[in-house]
Amino acid sequence: MLQKIHCTELYLAVGIMFYSGVVLFSAVLVGSSGSELKLPSWFQFGAGTSAFQIEGGWNASDKSESVWDRQLHLFPATLDGNADVACDSYHLWRRDIEMAEELGLDMYRFSISWSRLLPTGFSNYISEDGKRYYSDLIDGLLEKGIEPVVTIHHFDLPQRIQDLGGWANPLIADWFSSYANVVFSLFGNRVKYWLTINEPLILCDSGYTNQTVPYLDDKDIGRFLCNKNVLIAHAKAYRIYEKEYKPIYNGKVSIVNLFVWLQPATPEDKDITDLTIQYWEGRYGHAIYSKQGGWPKELENFLLEKGRSEGYPSPRLPPFTDEEVALVKGSADFYAFNHYSTRLVRKAKPGETIGSWPILGSQELGIVLERDPSWEVGDTVWFSVYPEGLRNQLNYLKETYGDLEFLITENGFFSTDPSLDDTRTVDYTWKYLEQVALAIQDGVNVTGYIHWSLMDNFDKGYSAKFGLYSVDFNDPNRTRTPRASARYYSKVTRTHCPYPEDLEQ
């Protein structure tokens, strides 16, 4: 109790000074020490999951196979285990709602399984059980005053759609948008926050470099077809919502970008860092959020030259028509993004071996990505902890695209420690939340933060422990138990004070 009062007291102190007219002094005071920061009262806290990672019930009722189901059944060695049961949220969703309530969440982010709702992949047939499952989940959340934030597509493409070319086939724009239309028509009366497609960077750039579903290897062409088709599919879904549903329900729609923040390793690396940001974020954000629309020009030219030098007769990054530019431009009501980590960018030295993670565009751009040696790492090498990166990124996005509403749809700590005493997750979370508070103070309109994840789930197997709740995957009941981070986060949601108790004494 004492700890709770700490943030409140300071908040009041600032308020009193404001009323006595010492505005400047109070502003200096708030800015002078991070430990006095608080998230605003209107700020919303959430936690997130995705269908394939938690639901299980992969063949329940009339659900059809998704690309993940197919991959893990045909090639069981792809990852460690499969998600046939996962957290069994297909059956245990009431417990999930109870956890969201225990945490005091304002929002719960989950995704809809396309192949559960539309077993044929197409909107000719809607599964009654699929419809009921999501409808019950949404109603259950609303009963507890928790806002559903619904991702329409989170990697688990129906296998049939994949067999027809998946995200490389331009027709997917119509297939996806008619699926989205079904989702809006069924749940639009109750859902106000819509996320069309999760992390297109991973979907396309990892999916077409054989690192995740659909495990295809076509980095030169497939990846860029997917890139463009994702943007058109998102925009078509957005326009359907805008025309048919927004006037009645007044909800909001965004795509979800994954954005690893990038900073130049040395002042000389500024230009190459800007190009790398275009490569990572701009290929998915610029067409939607910029005033000009279309591809980021500098990157488009760079890739055009590159493709020519490799003998490709036409641009590998497919150009937009004027009509397409107009369709995609402005097709979002806010900017949703997932943020976990930061990298330093520098030009590769002549002859230097470049990391092979093609998603990073290392070879293509001739860059090396590093972390500062002073940064902490998570339980995997790619995960470096640099909380200031989130604030820098938010300011960058505002400067680049204007004064948008921002929603952080994922942020959390990559841990492989299954214990309940997850102090590193608590540590990571408060430090990143503090940077969110600082970004708000900078004038960036961040309206919410969704922690990844509500519970442990199928990630690359079950070794990643992102959960506020642990899940016992050996127990047929998939018992969920709150970790220290769950107790911490439930305090944050109630007090809006980001600091853990031991810091406040």
Ligand X SMILES: *[C@@H]1O[C@H](CO)[C@@H](O)[C@H](O)[C@H]1NC(C)=O
User: Does 80 contact ligand X by CB under 6 A?
Assistant: no
User: Does 441 contact ligand X by CB under 6 A?
Assistant: no
The half-sphere exposure of 271 on its side-chain side, counting CA atoms within 13 A, is 4
Q: CA 273 to CA 88: how far, in whole Å?
A: 43
Q: Where are the beta strands (DSSP E) in 300-354?
A: 335-338, 342-347
Residues 446-465 vs ligand X: string with x where CB under 6 A? -x------------------
Closest distance of CB 388 from ligand X, Å: 22
User: Given candidates 363, 445, 459, 487, which one binds ligand X under the rule CB under 6 A?
Assistant: 445
Q: CA 31 to CA 29: how far, in whole Å?
A: 5
Binding residues for ligand X, total number by CB under 6 A: 11
Using H for helix, E for strand and C for coil, what is the string for 241-310?
HHHHHHHHHCCEEEEEEECCEEEECCHHHHHHHHHHHHHHHHHHHHHHHCCCCCCCHHHHHHHHHHHHHC
Restricting to residues 367-406, which ones interact with ligand X according to CB under 6 A? 405
Q: Where are the beta strands (DSSP E) in 259-356?
A: 261-264, 335-338, 342-347
User: Annotated catalytic residue: which of 36, 199, 281, 324?
Assistant: 199
User: Annotated catalytic residue: which of 55, 147, 281, 410?
Assistant: 410
- In terms of Cα–Cα distance, which of 453, 465, 458, 454 is closest to 412? 453
User: Given candidates 139, 271, 421, 475, which one binds ligand X under the rule CB under 6 A?
Assistant: 475
**36 belongs to the catalytic site:** no
- Which of these ranges, 209-217, 231-239, 262-270, 489-497, lies near ligand X under the rule CB under 6 A? 209-217
- Which of these ranges, 31-39, 141-149, 211-219, 374-382, lies near ligand X under the rule CB under 6 A? 211-219
User: Given candidates 3, 27, 84, 366, which one binds ligand X under the rule CB under 6 A?
Assistant: 84
User: Does 215 contact ligand X by CB under 6 A?
Assistant: yes
Residue 149 C-alpha from the chain's centroid: 12
- In terms of Cα–Cα distance, which of 227, 202, 199, 226 is closest to 212? 202
Closest distance of CB 59 from ligand X, Å: 4
State the burial class of residue 382 (Cβ atoms within 10 Å of its Cβ: 0-12, 13-18, 19+).
Answer: middle
Longest dimension (CA), the chain: 70
Pick the closer one to ligand X by CB: 307 or 448.
448
User: Does 216 contact ligand X by CB under 6 A?
Assistant: yes
User: Given candidates 35, 292, 301, 477, which one binds ligand X under the rule CB under 6 A?
Assistant: 477
- 289 in helix, strand or coil? helix
**410 belongs to the catalytic site:** yes
Pick the closer one to ligand X by CB: 283 or 478.
478
Catalytic residue list: 199, 410
User: Which residues form the interface with ligand X (CB under 6 A)?
Assistant: 59, 84, 210, 215-217, 405, 445, 447, 475, 477
